[in-house]
Amino acid sequence: MQIDGLIAHHARYRPEHTAVVFGTQRLSWDQFNRRVNRLAHALRAAGVAKGDRVATVLPNCLELLDIYWACAKLGAVVVPLSPLLTASGLESLLRDAAPVAVFGTRETAAQLLPVKPKLKSVRCCVLVGALADGCRPYADFTAERSERDIGADIAPDDVFNIMYTSGTTGLPKGIVHTHRIRAHYGTLFANAWRMGPESVVLHTGAIVFNGAFVTLMPSFTVGARYVLAERFEAQAMIDTIAAEGVTHTMMVPSQIVAMLNAPNFDPARLQSLEMLLSLGAPLSVAHKDILEAALPGRFYELYGLTEGFVTILDRDDAQRKRGTVGVPPPFFEMKILREDGKSAAVGEIGEIVGRGPILMPGYYRRDDLTAAAIQDGWLHTGDLGFVDKDGYLTLVDRKKDMIDSGGVKVYPRDIEEVIVQHPAVLEAVVFGIPDDKWGETPAAAVTLKAGQHIDADALREWTNSRVGARYQRLNTLELVDQFPRNAAGKILKRELREPYWAGREVRI
- The tens digit of pLDDT for each residue in 321-337 reads 998 999 999 999 999 99
167 Cβ neighbours under 8 A, 6+ residues apart: 486
24 Cβ neighbours under 8 A, 6+ residues apart: none
Single-letter amino acid, residue 97: A
190-398 and 36-146 share a CATH fold:
yes
CA dihedral 460, 465, 467, 468 (to 10 degrees): 160
pLDDT score at 170: 47
Nearest to 149 by CA among 308, 255, 227, 34: 34
Q: Compute the distance between CA of residue 447 and CA of residue 261 in angstroms, rounded to an integer.
A: 13
Residue 61 in this model has a pLDDT that exceeds 90 = yes
Single-letter amino acid, residue 234: A
pLDDT score at 502: 67
For residue 395, report the phi and psi dihedrals to the nearest 5 degrees.
Answer: -85, 125
Selecting from 3.40.50.300, 3.40.250.10, 2.40.160.20, 3.30.300.30, what CATH number does the domain 408-501 have?
Answer: 3.30.300.30
Residue 370 in this model has a pLDDT that exceeds 90 = yes
Write out pLDDT tens, residues 477-493: 999 999 988 766 778 88
CB neighbour class for 118 (10 Å; exposed up to 12, middle 13-18, buried from 19) = exposed
What integer best gives the mean pLDDT of the chain? 91
Residue 33 in this model has a pLDDT that exceeds 50 = yes
**Domain formed by 36-146, architecture:** 3-Layer(aba) Sandwich (3.40)
171 Cβ neighbours under 8 A, 6+ residues apart: none
Quick one: which H or E segment has residue 418? helix 412-419
Nearest to 490 by CA among 7, 82, 72, 48: 82
SS3 102: strand
Sheet of 476-479: strand order equals 425-435, 439-448, 476-479
Region 223-244: mean pLDDT is: 97
CB 284 within 8 A of CB 422: no
Residue 469 in this model has a pLDDT that exceeds 80 = no
Q: Compute the distance between CA of residue 489 and CA of residue 251 in angstroms, rounded to an integer.
A: 9
Single-letter amino acid, residue 439: G
Sign of CA dihedral 325, 326, 327, 330: negative
pLDDT score at 301: 96
Ranking 111-115, 220-224, 359-363, 458-462 by mean pLDDT, the lowest is: 111-115
Q: What is the pairing mode between strands 248-251 and 275-278?
A: parallel
| Superfamily covering domain 190-398 | ANL, N-terminal domain (3.40.50.12780)
CB 430 within 8 A of CB 419: yes
SS3 104: strand
Residue 505 in this model has a pLDDT that exceeds 50 = no
Write out pLDDT tens, residues 431-452: 999 887 777 899 999 999 999 9
Residue 129 in this model has a pLDDT that exceeds 90 = no
Question: So where are the chain's domains?
Answer: 36-146, 190-398, 408-501
Write out pLDDT tens, residues 259-318: 999 999 999 999 999 999 999 877 888 889 999 999 999 999 999 999 999 999 999 999
Q: Compute the distance between CA of residue 110 and CA of residue 87 in angstroms, rounded to an integer.
A: 8
| pLDDT grade for 407, boundaries at 50, 70 and 90 | low
CA dihedral 185, 191, 193, 196 (to 10 degrees): 100
